[in-house]
Structure 1
Amino acid sequence: MIALDLDNTLLNSEKKISETNTRVLKKLHRQGKRIVLCTGRPINAIWDWLKQLELMGEKDYSVNFNGSLVIHNVDKQPLMADGMKRAHFADLHKFCMAHGYPLDILDFNGGYPINDLPLSGYEKRLGGNMHFLHTPFIKLPAVDYSKAVICATPATLNHIVVHMPAQLKQEFHIVRSQPMILEFLKPGIDKGSALDVLLDHFGWTRENLMTFGDAQNDLEMLASAGVGVAMANGTPEAKQTANQVTAVDNDHDGVAQFLTTYFSQND
């Protein structure tokens, strides 16, 4: 199983999967490897990339919302969905209200920019095939939610991380997925735990897993894999956690180059 983060890993700086990465991954998929996209996005927001890589077979799954959801690509049926209720976010909302921070809360389909707080840049950054409904916190619908996001300047997030209340650290698994995005997940939820669910579904172990990532929200899946590969452009923490590092970055087909070299040596 080859599990791949998207932003700054499989995607280049133009938010595209290159022809070289596409060709190599499609070849490995045809040979029987499981190719699993692991992302903070919902499946609708990665649909075009799934089709580009031809990941629409009976055994094709994705990990969404940084591990809250494992979904069967072709019919969008969940293998695992582990969410939270609105009440879980009450303290986080109070924290954002007290300091004037924006907040987006996501269910398993789209996002709710909380409009009793300052406008977030998350909707503009994410875009494409994902619905957003601007809603005050008190009027959030009674559904299951996958995570919350504070999208702000890197300097603002640096300040938030340093001054994060201990109570919020206990209530959430908090990860910095990008310089401008701080995510709040259910404790125990991450990409690594979601991949464990998928490995168990296939009767495999972590020794059957290769992962690619670059950032804090990839650490668990990098640490848990038999072959954990950090990108050359990844954070120092990602490189320290992984047991391999690509020779080149995401703008120079780092994924494809590593896979081509690895399987030519190990098949």
Structure 2
Amino acid sequence: MSSLPYELISLDLDMTLLDRDSRISPRNLATVRRCTELGAKVVISSGRMHCTTLQFLDAMGLDTPVISYNGALIKHESTGEVLLHQTVEPSLARELVELCDAEGVHLNYYVDDTLYIARRGPFADLYAERTTAALIPVGDLRTLTNRAPTKLLVVDTPQRIEQLFAEWGPRFSDRAYVTTSYIDYLEFMPLGVSKGKALAALAAHYGIPQEKVIAFGDALNDVPAIAWAGLGVAMANAKPEAKAVAKRIAPHHAEDGVAVVLEEVFGFGG
């Protein structure tokens, strides 16, 4: 077994590794690179599309698989190898499309790492600005429901999302993994998907034991990974549910919290 304290480091992006401007701070970047130089595997674990994580993969100089779509996809970009890909049943996708249309809420529909929307609007533009994702308006998302999506995501006001989560979470819990990341997102993935299960699969792929895995996160969608890892770390800005399962609380994401913890556990200064 390696002498490293942790051999696999799982990093959520938004509100965890990234600062308020959605950038990797110099201290976080330097610390991640030092961990990789020591031999640790560093992986991105995000609710984002695979393609919108790649700028951060490149910035950190990583050549490891990316966990995206909250664990529905694990793909190694440089080799093209797909280690895991699960999709939502088309019948459920159609039901969600029709429900969102009836409720008048914006819906993102993700197929083959491409983002389709019915039409542009304030919530579509908010998502695009936040993630740099390209949007493809199609008019009626029902035209796509013969194609199984990796994920569906509602964007609305925090108050509306809270209401919809309370109503739709229980309603679809036996057919989909329903969770939140940002306060204005409600996300639907295939049943059984989670960042925790994806992280466990990736650790097994590398032959790394659970106790040698550290996972950082802040939101409800990070809870399974934080709970599973040998050392689960929630940010100071994390949701109460994430803090409740964490073994350690890191400083705020805007205060280089990832670097602070990694510097300590790997034994080098900032």
- Residue number among 251, 255, 263 corresponding to 1:252 in the alignment: 255
Match of 1:53 in 2: 60
Secondary structure of the residue that 1:185 maps to in structure 2? strand
Is contact 1:175–1:217 with CA below 8 Å preserved after alignment?
Answer: yes
Match of 1:113 in 2: 117
Secondary structure of the residue that 2:133 maps to in structure 1? coil
Is contact 1:108–1:144 with CA below 8 Å preserved after alignment?
Answer: no
Match of 2:103 in 1: 99
Q: Deviations over 1:113-151 (max 9, x none)?
A: 134xx8461453244653321121221174442110000
Structure 1 residues not aligned, in runs of 5+ = none
Q: How does 1:1-267 map to 2 (within 5 A)?
A: 1-56=8-63, 60-115=64-119, 119=121, 121-127=123-129, 130-135=133-138, 136-140=140-144, 142-164=146-168, 166-246=170-250, 248-264=251-267
Q: Deviations over 1:50-107 (max 9, x none)?
A: 1110003xxx111011101111131333111111243221222232223222211112
Distance in 1 between residues matched to 2:238 and 2:189, nearest whole Å: 22
Moved more, 252-261 or 80-89: 80-89
Q: 1:122 to 1:204 in 2, by over 3 A?
A: farther
Q: How many residues align structurally?
A: 259
Distance in 2 between residues matched to 1:151 and 1:67, nearest whole Å: 20
RMSD: 1.9
Distance in 1 between residues matched to 2:34 and 2:267, nearest whole Å: 13
Secondary structure of the residue that 2:136 maps to in structure 1? coil
Amino acid at match of 1:253: D
Is contact 2:91–2:145 with CA below 8 Å preserved after alignment?
Answer: no
Amino acid at match of 1:257: V
Secondary structure of the residue that 2:137 maps to in structure 1? coil
Amino acid at match of 2:17: L
Q: 1:44 to 1:165 in 2, by over 3 A?
A: closer
Distance in 1 between residues matched to 2:122 and 2:192, nearest whole Å: 26
Amino acid at match of 2:123: G
Secondary structure of the residue that 1:198 maps to in structure 2? helix
Distance in 1 between residues matched to 2:216 and 2:188, nearest whole Å: 22
Structure 2 residues not aligned, in runs of 5+ = 1-7
* Identity rate, percent: 27
Secondary structure of the residue that 2:74 maps to in structure 1? strand
